[in-house]
Each structure stands twice: as structure tokens, then as C-alpha cells.
């Protein structure tokens, strides 16, 4: 494989690898999990669209929780919205947080330096259940490519009604949860509607290496 390895770790969930490669625009850092490409620092449109489309679901998203740190682009886009007072990113892999904090991911220290950002090393399911009632305005879930494309099988519970009920409890009236998915997820949309009261899916075009792909934002909102 071209490029060079920056870092590697074996976790309870498998192997994480950071690699650096060169393209026509310069150095690119990519993240792989168990040998599969997850994301890189060149193609960040999906992360940015996820943030902006999710923020549009809520009138006043002062407190936002993001499930999954990735390479930090979703959190950075969330914090670019002046309405956001606080963003809590929940990441299950402590090594990924350290790679960002220590600069193994070059832009990582700048992202994590934002004083409005808290990074919690935990399973997002536990973080949601431990959050206080009506304590957040928005939850963005970006730990998989949707319920049909799980990174880890245990994540299936994140798209089921017991967890969605915990999400509803932590959201303020009018708050929302948004799930980024590489495919439509009608069963998830129906579950969100049953638990939160309102739900909808919207397709968003994303430019990936010159190709236009469709991703879906499946959102649910509590009643005001």
C-alpha cells in the first residue's frame, strides 16, 4: 500500500491505523479500522454536510453531542456555528483522541483546543444514558455509515428503541437526533417517529473524489 504508516494500535474492537499518502495536492492522512478505509483529511464533505444539515434541524442548538470523533471535521463544523455554546464529542477509542491531541493527526491539536469542546472517552450509549434530562439540544450520530453499515456489530443497539428512548430523555423540547447513513433507513425513521414524535429522512449529495454520492440524514425531533 503506498504511503507510510503514522501509527497503529490494537483495541478491544480491532485494529486502528493512521497512514499518510501523497496526492496532487500534498499530504493526506487516512484512518483505517480493521483494514477498512474510514475517512481521510482530503475528502471531508460528508462530515461537513452532516454537521450543517443536522444543525438546521434545531432552532437554537446551544448544546450539541457528537457520537464519534473521527478526524475531527464534524466537531469543527459544529463549532463553526455561532449558535453552539458547547459541543461534547464522545469517542470510544482513547488512542484516537491521543493521536488528535498529540498532533499525530496534524490538525488535531487545533481542533481540540477550542474551549467550547469537551472530548469524553466512552461508549456513546453510556454517555447518552448518563446525560441529565433535557440537557442537550442535538445529538449527531456518526459512529457507522448507518444501521445497515455497522463498524462494530454491537452498534446495532444505537438504532433501536431502548437507546432512542434514552436519547429522547436527554433532549430538550424541540431537540433532535440526526443519524448519517450511506443508505436509506426506513426502519430507523419509523422508530424515531414512535419514540420522539417527529422524524424524516433527507438525501444529501456529497462530492467524493469527483463523484456525486447520496447520503441520507435520518432525523428525529421531540415536540416543543
| Side-chain half-sphere CA neighbours of 146 within 13 A | 20
DSSP 56: T
- Report, as an integer, the average pLDDT of 169-177: 96
Domain parsing of the chain, residue ranges: 43-222
The per-residue DSSP string of 104-117 comes to SSTTHHHHHT-TTE
Tallying the residues shown for the chain, one arrives at: 224
Phi and psi at residue 47, to the nearest 5°: -65, -40
Q: Which residue would you say has higher pLDDT here, 13 or 208?
A: 13
pTM over 0.75: yes
| Mean per-residue pLDDT over the chain, rounded | 91
Per-residue pLDDT at 1 exceeds 60: no
Active site residues: 142
| Residue 179, C-alpha cell as written in the block | 443519524
Reported as a single tens digit per residue, the pLDDT across 23-58 is 888 899 999 988 878 889 988 888 888 899 999 999
> In the chain, what percentage of residues exceed pLDDT 70?
97
At residue 13, does pLDDT exceed 90?
no
Q: Which helix (H) or strand (E) holds 203?
A: strand 197-208
What pLDDT sits at residue 209? 64
Instruction: Give the position of cell 478491544.
Output: 12
Helical residues (DSSP H) of the chain, grouped into ranges: 45-55, 73-79, 94-102, 108-112, 124-130, 161-170, 186-196
- What class, spelled out in words, does domain 43-222 have in CATH? alpha beta
CA distance 136 to 157: 21
From CA 161, how far away is CA 179, in angstroms rounded?
14
Amino acid at each position: 500500500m503506498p504511503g507510510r504508516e503514522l501509527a497503529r494500535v490494537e483495541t478491544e474492537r480491532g485494529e486502528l491505523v493512521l497512514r499518510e499518502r501523497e496526492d496532487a495536492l500534498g499530504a493526506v492522512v487516512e484512518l483505517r479500522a480493521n483494514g477498512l478505509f474510514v475517512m481521510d483529511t482530503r475528502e471531508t464533505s460528508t462530515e461537513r454536510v452532516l454537521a450543517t444539515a443536522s444543525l438546521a434541524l434545531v432552532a437554537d442548538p446551544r448544546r450539541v453531542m457528537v457520537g464519534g470523533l473521527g478526524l475531527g471535521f464534524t466537531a469543527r463544523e459544529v463549532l463553526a456555528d455561532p449558535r453552539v455554546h458547547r459541543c461534547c464529542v464522545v469517542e470510544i477509542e482513547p488512542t484516537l483522541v491521543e493521536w488528535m491531541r498529540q498532533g499525530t493527526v496534524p490538525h488535531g491539536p487545533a481542533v481540540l483546543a477550542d474551549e467550547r469542546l469537551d472530548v469524553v472517552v466512552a461508549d456513546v450509549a453510556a454517555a447518552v444514558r448518563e446525560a441529565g434530562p433535557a440537557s442537550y439540544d442535538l445529538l449527531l450520530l456518526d459512529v457507522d455509515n448507518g444501521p445497515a453499515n455497522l463498524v462494530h456489530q454491537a452498534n446495532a443497539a444505537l438504532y433501536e428503541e431502548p437507546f432512542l428512548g434514552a436519547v429522547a430523555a436527554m433532549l430538550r423540547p424541540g431537540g433532535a437526533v440526526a443519524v448519517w447513513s450511506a443508505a436509506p433507513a426506513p426502519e430507523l425513521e419509523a422508530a424515531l417517529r414512535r419514540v420522539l414524535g417527529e422524524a424524516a429522512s433527507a438525501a444529501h449529495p456529497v462530492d467524493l473524489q469527483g463523484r456525486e454520492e447520496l447520503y441520507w440524514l435520518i432525523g428525529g425531533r421531540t415536540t416543543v
